[in-house]
Amino acid sequence: MYLHSLKPAEGSVKARKRIGRGPGSGRGGTSTRGHKGAKSRSGYSQKAGFEGGQMPLQRRVPKYGFKNINRVEYKAINLDVIQALAESTNETVINFDFFRTHGLVQKNDKVKVLGRGELNKAVEVHAHAFSVTATSSIENAGGKTVAL
């Protein structure tokens, strides 16, 4: 085997289509672009959302509502979840890292503790926000709430 005798595998390399090289080629004339219209011209590009002159969907649908750029999104964690975790791990301090290691929140989440379920273990809960019912339940059980 020599370098000059190397060839690609049979059928793996196709010849490119030679478009617009006269009528004898079979691809002259319109050069596979059909007849007339914007799509046959060079430099054609269609705007995103263009529907051929018909009123586009994005303009037919009315404006609705707004996005508040100052909104703070919280990850909600209920008391029944905290109760189950506190029983299974025997922890007395439940903080953000604890929630993270148990897969309840991600690194950039903010945690809000909500009052669904019951808490009957005295635990110290650290979170970004608490509902009124959650705070009272935690304190009634002998625990403590710490806002981050």
Residue 14 lies in a domain: no
Residue 121 lies in a domain: yes
Percent residues over pLDDT 90 in the chain: 91
pLDDT digits (tens, 9 = 90+) for 114-129: 999 999 889 999 999 9
What DSSP assignment string belongs to 10-24? TTS--PPP--SS-GG
Give the Cα separation of 144 and 148 in Å (integer): 13
Residue 64 lies in a domain: no
Write the CATH number for 98: 3.100.10.10
Closest CA to 115 of 125, 100, 105: 125
Residue 67 lies in a domain: no
Give the range of the structural domain holding residue 82, as residue numbers without chain letter.
74-147
Distances (CA, A) of 63 to 50, 89, 101: 19, 50, 42
Distances (CA, A) of 33 to 17, 26, 30, 45: 13, 13, 6, 14
pLDDT at 103: 93
Residue 143 lies in a domain: yes
Residue 129 lies in a domain: yes
pLDDT digits (tens, 9 = 90+) for 51-86: 989 999 999 999 999 999 999 999 999 999 999 999
Q: In what order do the strands lie in the sheet with 110-114?
A: 74-78, 110-114, 129-130
**Number of structural domains, the chain?**
1
pLDDT at 93: 93
Residue 86 lies in a domain: yes
pLDDT at 73: 96
Residue 88 lies in a domain: yes
DSSP β-bridge partners for residue 74: 110
